[in-house]
Amino acid sequence: MTWKDPSLNAFFNCINIILLGACGVLVSHFLDVKSGQSEKNLFPALAQIIMSGFTGVISGDANDKS
């Protein structure tokens, strides 16, 4: 049986959390644009993606340590 590096698994978990947060923000942004509640400006969506990814990684990291 081969040994698997646990840090690589944690890295992919962080990437998955960031990607899921980004997908959720993009869907929310597109729905807001379609309904007329937001403009077609991607800067606020990009800022929300960064915040969502950061929050997801922090909460995921805190969840792993408890």
Neighbours of 49 (CB within 10 A): 20
pTM of the model: 0.62
What residue has token string 């698997």? 4
pLDDT band with cut points at 50, 70 and 90 for residue 39: confident
Contacts (Cβ under 8 Å, ≥6 apart) of 26: 45, 49
Q: pLDDT of 45-66, one tens digit each?
A: 888 888 887 877 777 665 555 5
For the chain, the 3-state helix, strand and coil shares in percent, each to the nearest 5, are 80, 0, 20
- In percent, the amount of the chain with pLDDT more than 70 equals 79
- In percent, the amount of the chain with pLDDT more than 90 equals 0
